[in-house]
Amino acid sequence: MKPKVLIIYTGGTIGMIQDSETGVLKAFDFKHLSNQIPELSRLNIDLSSESFEKPVDSSEMNPKHWAMIAQIIFNNYANYDGFVVLHGSDTMAYSASALSFMLQGLQKPVIFTGSQLPIGTIRTDGKENLITSIEIAAAKNSDGTSIIQEIGIYFEYSLYRGNRTSKISSSAFEAFASPNYSELAVAGVLINYQLKEKYLQIGNLELFTNFDNRVALLKIFPGFSAKIYQSLFNIEKVKAIVIESFGAGNVPSDDFFKTYVKDYLNSGGIILNITQCNTGKVDQGKYETSSFFDKIGVVGGNDLTTEAALTKLMYLLGKYTSKIEITAKLKESICGEMSLN
C-alpha cells in the first residue's frame, strides 16, 4: 500500500505560477498539482490536496487561520500517513508554533514548507522543498510508525522542529533557522534523520483552537522610555506581555518601568521574559539588572523563540483561567518548545 499524504495549501509564494501571457503571479489550482510538478507522479506516494477557499499571504494569518489548518488535519488524521502544509514563509514559524499547541498528541508528521521563488519560476526552491517535505511526511520506521511525529518546518535541505524556528532571511533560500535546537533531519543524497529525543506526547490527538490573543510584545532598547508603553500594562486589555530583554534577561533599571511591571503583575497580569539574542537563554537573577524581575514574579522564558512565546501564551490564556496554572505551564515544555535547563 502506498503511503497517503494530504497537502494543504494556505497561500504564499510556493503555490503561485506566472501567467504566461501577463506575467502576473497567481495561485494555481491544487487539484492539478501533478500538471505543475510532474515529478510528483514518480514518488510512490498517494497524494491528495486541499486548499483554503481564499489562499492568503501569510502576513494575513491569525489564530482563525491556524484553527482552520488544525481542523483540516484533525478531520483527516485517520485517513493519512502525514500532512504537508504549504504556507507563506513570512509567518510560517508563528503558524508552526501555534499548531504545535493546537494539535497535541501527534503521532504523524505535519510538515510546513514554502518557498522564496514561486513554483513556476525556473530557479524555484519550491520544488525541492515540496518534494522532500512529501517524502518526510510519508517516511516510516520499520515497525510502521511515522519517523517524525510532530510539527516541522522543512526549508532548503533542513527539517526543523516547528516551534523552535524563526525566519532569518527574506531573500536567501536558507530562510529559517532553529538556533537553540538542532535539525530533526538534513536532506542530502539521503534524508538523514537525527532525532534527539521525542517530547512526551501522551494519549490520542487532541485539538484545541480557542486561543486568546490578548497578548503584547515589548522589545527593550537602550534609551527606551517606559512611559510611552504605559498603556500596555493594563490588565483589562492585555492579559500577558512578552518582554524581549537584553542578553540573559536583563532590562534597564527605570523606576517607571519597575512600577508598571509590579502593578501589572499585582493586578493579575503575566509577564514572560525572553531574550532578544538569537541563541542562548534567559537566566533571571544572574545579573542585578534581571534580579528585580526574578523577585517580583516575571517568568523566565529560557530559550523560547518570540514566535513560540506568543503562541504559547495565546494557548494557555485560552485554556486556563488561573494565573497560577498558566505560570506553572509556562515553566514546562509542553510540546518541545523550550529547553528545561
What is the distance, to the nearest Å, from the Cα of residue 230 to the centroid of all Cα atoms in its chain?
Answer: 29
Residue with Cβ nearer ligand ASP (175 or 335): 175
Residue with Cβ nearer ligand ASP (66 or 233): 66
> For the purposes of burial, counting CB atoms within 10 Å of the CB of 258, is it exposed (0-12), middle (13-18) or buried (19 or more)?
middle
CB 86 within 8 A of CB 94: no
What is the distance, to the nearest Å, from the Cα of residue 216 to the centroid of all Cα atoms in its chain?
Answer: 17
* DSSP assignments along 227-265, one per residue: GGGGGGS-TTT-SEEEEEEBTTTB----HHHHHHHHHHH
> Which CA distances in Å does 276 have to 160, 219, 220?
20, 8, 9
> Which CA distances in Å does 94 have to 36, 90, 154, 257?
28, 9, 14, 28
Residue with Cβ nearer ligand ASP (125 or 244): 125
Min dist. Cβ of residue 73 to ligand ASP (A):
20
Min dist. Cβ of residue 231 to ligand ASP (A):
30
Min dist. Cβ of residue 181 to ligand ASP (A):
22
Cα(77)–Cα(146) distance, rounded to whole angstroms? Answer: 13
Residues that bind ligand ASP (CB under 6 A): 11-13, 57-59, 88-90, 114
Known catalytic residue at 13: yes
Min dist. Cβ of residue 114 to ligand ASP (A):
5
Residue with Cβ nearer ligand ASP (89 or 250): 89
Cell representation of residue 275: 531574550
Q: Please give the residue whose beta carbon sits closest to ligand ASP in the complex.
A: 88
Cell representation of residue 110: 505535519
CB 29 within 8 A of CB 17: no
Residue with Cβ nearer ligand ASP (114 or 269): 114
Cα(163)–Cα(140) distance, rounded to whole angstroms? Answer: 22
Min dist. Cβ of residue 216 to ligand ASP (A):
23
| Candidates 10, 13, 91, 132; catalytic one | 13
Catalytic residue set: 13
